[in-house]
Structure 1
Amino acid sequence: MTAVPAADPIVLEFADNRLLIDLCGAYDAHLAAIEKALDVQIIRRGNQLSILGDTDSKQRAEGVLNTLYARLESGRTVAPAEVESLLRMGSPMAGTRPQTGGQLEMPVGDTFEIQTRKKRVEPRTDAQKAYVKSLFDDELTFGIGPAGTGKTYLAVAVGINMFIGGHVDKIILSRPAVEAGEKLGYLPGDMKDKVDPYMQPLYDALNDFLPGKQLAKLIEEKRIEIAPLAFMRGRTLSNAFVVLDEAQNATSMQMKMFLTRLGKGSRMVITGDRTQIDLPRGVPSGLADAERLLNKIPKISFNYFTSKDVVRHPLVAAIIEAYEADNPAS
């Protein structure tokens, strides 16, 4: 790939027409997304792409196209999600060539990929990228923000990565079994049957990263545990990757109990959404207390997400913004 000098447009020339087709996307959908996001015009002629617009926008579009093409050269795919991710993460300037290569166990340089048994996972926003870095760097990490921002999903992915890499011996995933409408005692079955519906999002994430038979075996061997927060009392969690999900529904005493379970060789991740507290009226959230008390302790990182980091359906971000506008204090 070489840049061809031009007075006004930036002209990029690509040697591999097959990769160029993938770069442009079906019916040039990827080019259209870049044009809309960066306010440029991209004209395709043969194996060349001409970029028109103001100087800064042209250079950013050039950087995006170079980065996506380098991804294709490394044998990876480019889907709409990757294009959107790159545009969200502060489009790279002209001349940017990311590191490429084999599977990465941990983030290296500007490349943040989490390798699991079934798939590679990549952060799609700057906030997600900073969060993943914290998950690898810090022994205790908080991820706080609205639904759909990847807090739990990325934490579980990093946990799987560390487990298969031998950095931890087990994974422990927990949630407060707080009732939100339907009483726990009214649900049919034994205690496991009653509790499992609260844990289902954690099972969903694990199923994304591990083959079914392997996951079932690891759960049977208790190398992966999924349990309500109340079951953590009295334990010391050593050489483990520990995730507390929906932490806004933990009381202050429960949060203190959980945080003090941290043992040698372990990593702990706390995720929560301050706008979705299901605790009884008048009961303070332990997540808020933890923010207030722990935010200046070294090796404890706090990572915050907004509606701009939502990676579910675009309507989810719009819904969150509408509720925030109606109740700014939340």
Structure 2
Amino acid sequence: MGTSRTIELPSPESAIALAGQQEENLKQLAQQTGASIVLRGQQLLISGSDKQVELSERLVRSLEPYWSIGKSITGVDILTARHALDTQRPEDLQALQQDVVGRTRRGEEIRAKTFRQRQYVQAIRTHDLTFCIGPAGTGKTFLAAVLAVQALLSGQYERLILTRPAVEAGEKLGFLPGDLQQKVNPYLRPLYDALYEMTDPEKISGLMERGIIEVAPIAYMRGRTLNNSFIILDEAQNTTPAQMKMVLTRLGFRSRMVVTGDTTQTDLPPNQASGLVVAQRILQHVEGIAFCHLSKADVVRHSLVQRIVTAYESYEQHS
């Protein structure tokens, strides 16, 4: 015997936030629960078996902190809420929804979207050295940069240093035109993007001119001790073991370091070991160091990116 239930939404904004673009969220909620879910104005109509309707209502209610204030919901939010229901973790879901990691310069709140992302944020807050390993689009660099910019602007650190090895698929630095700054910029673009999301470009330019924010290739780290600094080493899978050791031993007093990378995407020569892989082997049981692993389930880009990552993974496993 089928059953149906109606949820009254408080405003047109909340209905739009819950439904998503082209009602994509409603489609995903229906996929997750097997129920039929239709929005008529500000009424959400749910029908199906008792079990399907109950699960749908619980899912919609667990997302209420977002839609009740008109904050748009993504597919990842729905998957995380479902995971919380399946594993009886309502308190963890509430904590995740309430934990604002930072705000963009447009005033939008930035939160972790998945439980593992939140563990990563908590690790950065509580450890002087955190490694985060996972595929593209999981927010590794972005979340670290958000926390770093906030820590810098609130005076916890005197400097923010962003670095990555200048090795990319098929391109050697010698073939790029221009002086060093121009040569290095294409590699550091993702780090700049994260900075600009947080603060006005003019302000960042000023901080960079004064050396308070430094974006540099890894070779610039040699021979320095970085005190009172927040350091992010990005694309760490492309470091050699010697480079990785060199950067890790730059860590000075009152400093914090986050090392991010994807061990499946190394652009090093075939016979060259990855500094990230070696570091993980050597350091995973060292006290005071956090290792966080994100997976394709933590991809928070366009839902299509998640499907592309999955398709490539299955192709690579079978070829």
Q: Is the 8 A contact 2:96 2:111 kept in 1?
A: no
1:172 has 2:161 as partner: yes
Identical columns (%): 39
Q: How does 1:264-303 map to 2 (within 5 A)?
A: 264-303=253-292
Q: How does 1:108-187 map to 2 (within 5 A)?
A: 111-118=98-105, 119-187=108-176
- 2:222 equivalent among 228, 233, 245: 233
Q: Which residue of 2 aligns with 1:33?
A: 28
- Give the drift of 1:215: 1.1
Q: Which residue of 1 aligns with 2:56?
A: 61
Whole-angstrom distance in 1 between the partners of 2:51 and 2:286: 40
Q: Is the 8 A contact 1:66 1:96 kept in 2?
A: no
Whole-angstrom distance in 2 between the partners of 1:61 and 1:299: 42
Whole-angstrom distance in 1 between the partners of 2:188 and 2:91: 41
1:204 has 2:193 as partner: yes
Q: Which moved more, 1:290-299 or 1:318-327?
A: 318-327
Whole-angstrom distance in 1 between the partners of 2:115 and 2:162: 25
Q: Which residue of 2 aligns with 1:52?
A: 47
Whole-angstrom distance in 1 between the partners of 2:21 and 2:210: 46
* Structure with more of its chain in helix, by fraction: 2
- Give the drift of 1:175: 0.3
Compute the TM-score of the two structures, normalised by the length of structure 1. 0.83
Q: Which residue of 2 aligns with 1:309?
A: 298
Q: Which moved more, 1:287-296 or 1:197-206?
A: 197-206
- Give the drift of 1:247: 0.4
- 1:19 equivalent among 14, 17, 20: 14
Q: Is the 8 A contact 1:159 1:241 kept in 2?
A: yes
SS in 2 for 1:264: coil
Whole-angstrom distance in 2 between the partners of 1:322 and 1:22: 29
What do the CA deviations read for 1:220-272 (whole angstroms, capped 9, x no partner)? 11111100111111111222211000101111111111111112222111111
- Aligned letter for 2:99? F
1:194 has 2:187 as partner: no
Q: How many positions carry a matched residue from both structures?
A: 313
Whole-angstrom distance in 2 between the partners of 1:47 and 1:240: 50
Q: Is the 8 A contact 2:30 2:37 kept in 1?
A: yes
What do the CA deviations read for 1:130-176 (whole angstroms, capped 9, x no partner)? 22222222221111111222111111111112222332222110000
1:242 has 2:237 as partner: no
Whole-angstrom distance in 1 between the partners of 2:230 and 2:318: 34
- Give the drift of 1:62: 2.2
- Aligned letter for 2:120? Y
Whole-angstrom distance in 2 between the partners of 1:116 and 1:17: 25
Q: What stretches of structure 1 of length at least 5 have no aligned partner?
A: 1-6, 101-107
What do the CA deviations read for 1:56-78 (whole angstroms, capped 9, x no partner)? 5444422332244333444x522
SS in 2 for 1:89: helix
Q: Is the 8 A contact 2:19 2:39 kept in 1?
A: no
Q: How does 1:102-113 map to 2 (within 5 A)?
A: 111-113=98-100
Q: Which residue of 1 aligns with 2:71?
A: 77
- Give the drift of 1:86: 1.8
Whole-angstrom distance in 2 between the partners of 1:8 and 1:312: 36
Whole-angstrom distance in 1 between the partners of 2:13 and 2:316: 50
- Give the drift of 1:97: 8.9
When the two chains are superposed, the root-mean-square deviation of aligned CA atoms in Å is 3.0
Whole-angstrom distance in 2 between the partners of 1:326 and 1:109: 34
SS in 1 for 2:98: coil
- Give the drift of 1:296: 1.0
Q: How does 1:252-263 map to 2 (within 5 A)?
A: 252-263=241-252
Whole-angstrom distance in 2 between the partners of 1:193 and 1:261: 25
Q: Which moved more, 1:129-138 or 1:41-50?
A: 41-50
- Aligned letter for 2:192? Y
Q: What stretches of structure 2 of length at least 5 have no aligned partner?
A: none
- 1:89 equivalent among 58, 64, 80: 80
Q: Which residue of 2 aligns with 1:104?
A: none
